[in-house]
């Protein structure tokens, strides 16, 4: 099985989207853009088509049919394989606890619902330990700079980063609490049926 750590963020998002339904590449592109996933990764058609081809070569997804409607070009429909499903979960497990790769963390967070609630809590706890260590490091740096009478104008970036880390920790603690007390619905099974129907992917949506 291919190493999940070698997956790019866009590859993870493609595989995760195929967990919802079989679809062709045009559907993938349109759905990702409709969900504004371009906030997380660049959504260039050429990159997506190339990534789909590579994922197929790696045995993570497979062709299941070819559609042709009217004068439109043929569109190959893809399905997610078990190896692809596992690769998404492994990638999220690896990236969700991290604090030094913010772009990858954002994608992992957006796909964290692919893991069980309790596992996400455990991974966030691991991340909390690293956040606390980074906060302590920044505070120590600021205290050391103050002891040396370092002009504050040289410290504004360090101050900003310390404030962002404090806010990040507070937000993560809030998320964890909602996961633990189950006020945050988690996983497909906990999405109300009428909401699932409203957001369900269908070929008619992309006709």
Segment 96-129, tens digit of pLDDT: 999 998 899 999 999 999 999 999 999 999 999 9
Please state, in angstroms and rounded to a whole number, the distance separating the CA atoms of residues 163 and 135: 9
Segment 66-74 mean pLDDT: 69
pTM: 0.84
CA-to-CA separations, 198 to 27, 30, 180, 183, in angstroms, rounded: 17, 17, 27, 22
Please state, in angstroms and rounded to a whole number, the distance separating the CA atoms of residues 98 and 105: 7
Segment 42-54 mean pLDDT: 89
Q: Is 96 exposed, middle or buried (0-12, 13-18, 19+ CB in 10 A)?
A: buried
pLDDT confidence of residue 176: 98
Of 25-29, 35-39, 194-198, the one with minimum mean pLDDT is 194-198
Residue 132 has pLDDT above 60, yes or no: yes
What is the Cα 48 distance to its own chain's centre? 16
Q: Judge contact between 55 and 84, C-beta under 8 A.
A: yes
Q: Which CATH class is domain 4-109?
A: mainly alpha
């Amino acid at each position: 099985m291919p190493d999940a750590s070698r997956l790019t963020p866009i590859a993870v998002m493609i595989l995760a989207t195929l967990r919802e339904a079989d679809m062709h590449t045009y559907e993938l592109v349109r759905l990702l853009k409709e969900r504004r996933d371009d906030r997380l990764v660049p959504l260039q058609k050429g990159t997506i088509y190339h990534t789909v081809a590579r994922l197929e070569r790696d045995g993570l997804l497979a062709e299941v049919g070819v559609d042709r409607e009217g004068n439109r070009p043929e569109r190959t429909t893809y399905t997610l394989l078990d190896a692809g499903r596992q690769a998404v979960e492994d990638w999220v497990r690896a990236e969700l606890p991290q604090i030094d790769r913010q772009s990858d963390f954002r994608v992992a967070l957006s796909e964290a619902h692919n893991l069980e609630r309790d596992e996400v809590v455990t991974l966030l706890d691991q991340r909390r330990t690293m956040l606390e260590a980074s906060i302590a490091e920044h505070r120590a740096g600021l205290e050391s700079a103050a002891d040396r009478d370092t002009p504050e104008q040289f410290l504004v970036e360090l101050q900003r980063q310390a404030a962002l880390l404090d806010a990040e920790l507070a937000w993560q603690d809030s998320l964890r609490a909602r996961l633990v007390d189950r006020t945050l619905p988690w996983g497909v099974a906990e999405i109300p049926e009428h909401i699932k129907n409203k957001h369900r992917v269908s070929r008619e949506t992309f006709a």
